[in-house]
Chains A and B, each alone.
Chain A
Amino acid sequence: MAATPADASSSSSEAVVGGEKSNKMITLISSDGESFEATEEAAKMSVTIKHMIEDGCADDGIPLPNVPAKILSMVIEYCNKHAADADDTNKHVADPADADEDDDNNNNNASAGEKEDLKSFDASLVAVDQATLFDIILAANFLSIKGLLDLACQKVADDIKDKSVEEVREIFKIENDFTKEEEEAVRKENAWAFNE
């Protein structure tokens, strides 16, 4: 389900597809006034939104004053992709007593392939410039989407790994406000971390 900008004044539409889950659409409104639609299932990947839905505050669309449109569309993309995956996983785990060995192997291969897809999707989602990456982190934190928050934080950690302190400062433009003496003292106190 691609997120499509809709008329800001339209209320959320109800479309029940299939017999399994209610695919009620939820409208999410970015900080710059753009509206996006997402299935309730995908939207509920955000614990914040889930609570608002359950408290009945979602009927006229949910304003998200902290999340700009560019970021919100990426967040919704993540939720759509991962909500679908969560559903598939639940189907496979249905009844282990039923599956014979062949079934098990087929199921595992299918989910292995899907897992690869998901991994590359995740990797490309966070392969963005710094400003965007940190916006994603802030949004995932505000919306309480643990998977996305972990993914984005891990990406930042991966960029820090295996680099010297100077390199990290350079990449992230962190200003070093230690005096030379202070810095030396910290390094000395924690020699176990700095001497290899």
Chain B
Amino acid sequence: MDAAGGGGEEVFVTYAQIGAYFSLLALEGPSAQDRIDRIVPYLISLLPPPFVPAPDADADESSDSDDDHFSLTSSDDDIAAPADGPAVDPAAQDGDGQDHISRLPDDLLSNIVSCLPTNEAARTMVLSTRWRSVWAATPLLVDDTHLRAADRHAVRALSRCVAAHPGPVRAVRVTHTSFHRQEYALERLVASLAAKNVQDLILFNRPWPLDMPLPDDILSCGSLTRLYIGFWRFPDTAAHQPAFPNLHELGLFHSIIEDRDVDALLAHCSKLRILSFAMAYSCGSRLRIRSSSLRVMMEWRCGFNEIIVEDAPCLERLLFHSISDRRPVRIVNAPRLEVLGFLDLQIHALEIGGIVIRAGMNVRASAMLPSLKILAVKVQFSHATEAKMLHTLLRCFPHLQTLHVMVVYASY
């Protein structure tokens, strides 16, 4: 899975360049299409789970959202599982021919509507005039896997669904829709979501292309508490300042974003707790963490040239799954860091408090992280320096409780 930035010299600015890069890779291995077809489900599997599981639709379309997936960073795991018991014959429930459901107050009817997939939830509006107002008053939940519109009309169905609802929009999950050549509809959709105070947004563009611009209005979605984007080019924050005062969780998956825009996001998200990057391939970039609120930072298969934890007083977990070239990981100020890993001794050149950690060195107090409790390392023991480095590292973490070691075997 080498789709992320390999060379370190290339900077992708146009779709043509990205397309050419993929074609180059295709000369030696699976085609660009095959590669992307494998990447997309992987990235979707890292997302928080859907709030309402997709109805049993065609196996080919919905299989990636229904598979067992783990979420490394989700803070939301309260979902009522559908009861798996014996299917109840509806006739058996038909007691006395009376309308009992109408005894429930509107807010409880809203609860029930919120348990339904998007299209079925909407259909309740036609049950009776009362149910129509219940639907309008129920915060909208949209999942594009629930809208069985044919591909061509997916964007239209999505836009109409959001436009027709008075709001607010509680959550939107778009993982199966391609917005190619639908820039106008995309812009209207994002503007509508911003206007309707969307709280939870997962917005993926299905390739191709890989660098479709995400509309500026995304930066105006001021009610967002959770945002995951995939396969976009992030808008320019210098032109349009981000307004995310409530954002707790942010995920930037396979998207192109400039360093200064990442800096701007961190500066303007004063409540951000969880930040994830997956397959970011804007090469030549350095990731600089300055955040007074961040608790968890995760990087998965990205090609950053440098990672600096400059000022993160609340950071508790720093998680990597890095690939490609060697890069420095500089931890300057992270006094509460408890979990660090996987530190790949071949790829990561660790620096603590400004001191480069060298195998066999004498570890001074300023090169220690006393807060660290759990460390995970990836090490090739046949490589003498790496083995020695592991030994030195352990002296940097005097209060370590758990050490996970992933052994890499030399492959020649």
Interface residues of chain A, those whose CB is within 8 Å of chain B, are: 97, 119-120, 122-124, 126-131, 133-134, 137-138, 141, 147, 149-151, 153-162, 165, 168-169, 171-178, 182-183, 186-187, 189-194, 196
Contacts and interface: CB of A to CB of B under 8 A. Distances in A.
Contact of A130 (B83, B101, B119, B148): B101
Contacts, number: 149
Contacts of A155: 83
Contact of A183 (B94, B108, B126): B126
Interface string B69-111: 0000000000011111110101011111111111110001001
A160 B126 contact: no
Contact of B111 (A124, A153, A182): A153
23 contacts: A119-B83, A123-B83, A134-B101, A151-B80, A154-B81, A155-B83, A156-B115, A158-B83, A160-B120, A161-B55, A162-B55, A165-B123, A165-B127, A168-B124, A173-B99, A177-B128, A178-B126, A191-B160, A192-B147, A193-B122, A193-B123, A193-B161, A196-B148
Contact of A131 (B80, B96, B113, B115): B96
Given A97-B402, A141-B108, A157-B115, A129 B93 contact: yes
A169 B120 contact: no
A138 B104 contact: yes
Interface core residue of A153, A178, A182 (most chain B CB under 10 Å): A153
A192 B156 contact: yes
B151 to A, nearest CB: 14
A167 B2 CA distance: 51
B104 A150 contact: no
Nearest to A155: B83
Nearest to A168: B127
Nearest to B164: A190
Contacts of B240: none
B182 interface: no
Given A171-B94, A186-B132, A120 B101 contact: no
Interface residues of B, number: 54
Contacts of A196: 119, 148-149
A185 to B, nearest CB: 10
Contact of A172 (B101, B119, B156, B164): B101
Contact of A161 (B102, B108, B120, B128): B120
Contacts of B116: 157, 160-161
A67 B103 CA distance: 14
A133 B129 CA distance: 23
Contact of A192 (B95, B131, B161): B161
Contacts of A128: 93
A137 B120 contact: no
B125 interface: yes
A119 B90 contact: no
Interface core residue of A128, A155, A191 (most chain B CB under 10 Å): A155
A111 B90 CA distance: 32
B126 to A, nearest CB: 5
Contacts of A123: 83-86
Given A153-B115, A177-B128, A119 B147 contact: no
Interface core residue of B85, B97, B124, B156 (most chain A CB under 10 Å): B85
